[in-house]
């Protein structure tokens, strides 16, 4: 048992994948141009969006890929747990908040999955309004985020599975041209 513990800790691909999800989610373009609220909630929502894209990519793969996705998911919520403890939230408060975050994650990803499977951009738009933007979102930015998610999913679909499992996750670059062009048209 102890040797299994150390072997898992040596495998950095889960941590690297999670770090790449977080790095993409924290790109300033999302907060400066896409209008994502630059708050802890807004950053959480963007991590969820990018994690969903990776999990969506791995969902139709073999058991090892699904196991890897689960390990990244577990790492994500361990990181949330640790972050809350570092700011002084106690055990009971952390458990409650993590439970709420997990429920939020599943609710959001279910709505994103349904919208993608049905090729329903209106449903994806509404899910983003409800989950990410609230009343503060501009339609141009929300439509650009819908477009970005499609590109992110397609970009990850083009990556070989073995690269993702090695932690070599590459996301597409968010485009601000769509926002600028739409804003100048209006």
CB 80 within 8 A of CB 101: yes
Look at residue 93 in the predicted model and tell me its pLDDT.
72
- pLDDT > 60? residue 114: yes
- pLDDT > 60? residue 177: yes
Tens of pLDDT, residue by residue over 118-173, are 999 999 999 999 999 987 788 889 999 999 999 999 999 999 999 999 999 999 99
Tens of pLDDT, residue by residue over 60-105, are 888 899 999 999 999 988 887 777 777 777 777 777 887 888 889 9
Confidence (pTM): 0.87
Look at residue 9 in the predicted model and tell me its pLDDT.
44
Look at residue 182 in the predicted model and tell me its pLDDT.
52
Tens of pLDDT, residue by residue over 14-53, are 999 999 999 999 999 999 999 999 998 999 999 999 999 9
């Amino acid at each position: 048992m102890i040797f299994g513990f150390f072997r898992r800790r040596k495998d950095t691909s889960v941590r690297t994948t999670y770090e790449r999800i977080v790095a993409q989610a924290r790109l300033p373009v999302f907060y400066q141009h896409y209008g994502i609220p630059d708050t802890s909630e807004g950053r959480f929502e963007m991590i969820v969006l990018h994690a969903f894209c990776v999990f969506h990519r791995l969902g139709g793969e073999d058991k090892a890929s699904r196991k890897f996705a689960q390990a990244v998911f577990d790492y994500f919520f361990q990181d949330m747990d640790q972050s809350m403890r570092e700011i002084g939230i106690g055990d009971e408060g952390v458990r409650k908040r993590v439970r709420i975050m997990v429920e939020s994650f599943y609710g959001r990803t279910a709505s994103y999955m349904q919208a993608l499977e049905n090729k329903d951009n209106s449903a994806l738009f509404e899910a983003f309004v409800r989950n990410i933007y609230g009343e503060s979102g501009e339609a141009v930015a929300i439509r650009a985020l819908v477009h970005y998610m499609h590109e992110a999913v397609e970009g990850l679909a083009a990556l070989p599975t073995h690269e993702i499992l090695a932690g070599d996750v590459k996301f597409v670059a968010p485009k601000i041209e769509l926002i600028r062009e739409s804003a100048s048209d209006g």
